[in-house]
Amino acid sequence: MSDSTTVEEVAQRAVTGDRQALEALVRAVQPDIYALALRMLWNREDAEDATQEILVRVVTQLSSFDFRSRLKTWSYRVAVNHLLDRKRSAVERMNLNFVGLSEDLAEGLASDGPGENERSILIEEVKIGCTLAMLQCLDRPHRLAYILGEILDLPGAEAAEALGVDPSVLRKRLERARNAIHAFTRSYCGLVSDDAACRCNRRVAAAVRLGRAHPDALEFADRAVSFEEVRTAVRRAGEARRALEVHRTSRPRESSVELARRIVAAIDPDRG
């Protein structure tokens, strides 16, 4: 897909049966769908499975898209429906909450990890894992609202459309989710507050020891960072926005699974 071609134009060609356009469409929306699924499900394999299932729905339901909204918004709506209907994951069955997460953070601090100015990909792995854990402390409706409306920065009207709710409902969900995330990070996250004891670098040793981070098989990170550089980036934001910056500076790597040809071939094998 060229820079001058919109995804809606590609979708119009795909609806007419253009296989190349259909593959291009899947490639275009896959990163957004995966970003949502991973933050909803935490587990990479679960997120990749959900992404494939959602993309199949996008392709098979494409003829129902009326082109009155952005295709990205409509795709998110398809994803939201799937993720809300999905049975509870193993992570969700743990019933994680902010109290339990704060206790886990306190027990996992150690002094034998990287220093505050030392760059390590494991620091980023731990940080991303922590932000995903925070999201699991929200129920599904509030988690979806926070991910779409805050982390992925979807405009309010589009986020409400993707969620299938009135904008006033979205605003209330966002307010509750923001307040919960802000209160937790202010009390426990050293990226946000100097009064908080937790430091990503001090969590590395325990994460490796407990099997939550695997140096030779990273789940999320693709870059080395230091605690200090991330803290500096987070603190550039106003105090009310720092909790969100913790999430926005945590950028899990994209899925390496090529789904476009697989999905299109499965749906339309005669064109393979």
Backbone phi and psi for residue 197, each to the nearest 5 degrees, phi listed first = -80, -30
Q: CA 260 → CA 212, 256, 267, distances in Å? A: 31, 12, 11
Q: What is the mean pLDDT of residues 23-52?
A: 96
3-state SS class at 193: coil
Confidence bin at 272 (pLDDT 50/70/90): very low
Is the model's pLDDT at 269 over the cut of 70? no
> Of the candidates 169, 86, 186, 170, which has an alpha carbon nearest to the alpha carbon of residue 134?
186
Q: Rounded to whole angstroms, how far apart are CA atoms 27 and 11?
A: 12
Tens digits of per-residue pLDDT, 40-62?
A: 999 999 999 999 999 999 999 99
Q: What is the pLDDT of residue 90?
A: 86
Q: Rounded to whole angstroms, how far apart are CA atoms 107 and 99?
A: 13
Q: Is the dihedral angle over the CA atoms 214, 184, 96, 249 positive or is it negative?
A: negative
Q: Rounded to whole angstroms, how far apart are CA atoms 226 and 121?
A: 8
Is the model's pLDDT at 224 over the cut of 60? yes
Q: What is the mean pLDDT of residues 20-31?
A: 95
Is the model's pLDDT at 248 over the cut of 90? yes
Q: What is the mean pLDDT of residues 86-111?
A: 91
Q: 262 or 269: which carries more pLDDT confidence?
A: 262
Q: Tokens 């109290």 appear where?
A: 99
What DSSP string describes 199-257? -HHHHHHHHHHTTS--TTS-SS--S-B-HHHHHHHHHTS-GGGHHHHHHHT--PPPP--
Q: CA 115 → CA 194, 197, 221, distances in Å? A: 16, 15, 18
> Residue length, the chain?
272
Q: Is the dihedral angle over the CA atoms 32, 53, 215, 116 positive or is it negative?
A: positive
Tens digits of per-residue pLDDT, 178-197?
A: 999 999 999 999 999 999 99
Tens digits of per-residue pLDDT, 128-166?
A: 999 999 999 999 999 999 999 999 999 999 999 999 999
Q: What is the pTM of this model?
A: 0.94
CB contact at 8 A, 173 and 181: no
Percent of the chain scored above 90 by pLDDT? 86
- Delineate the domains of the chain, giving CATH numbers in brackets: 7-90+255-271 (1.10.1740.10), 94-248 (no CATH)
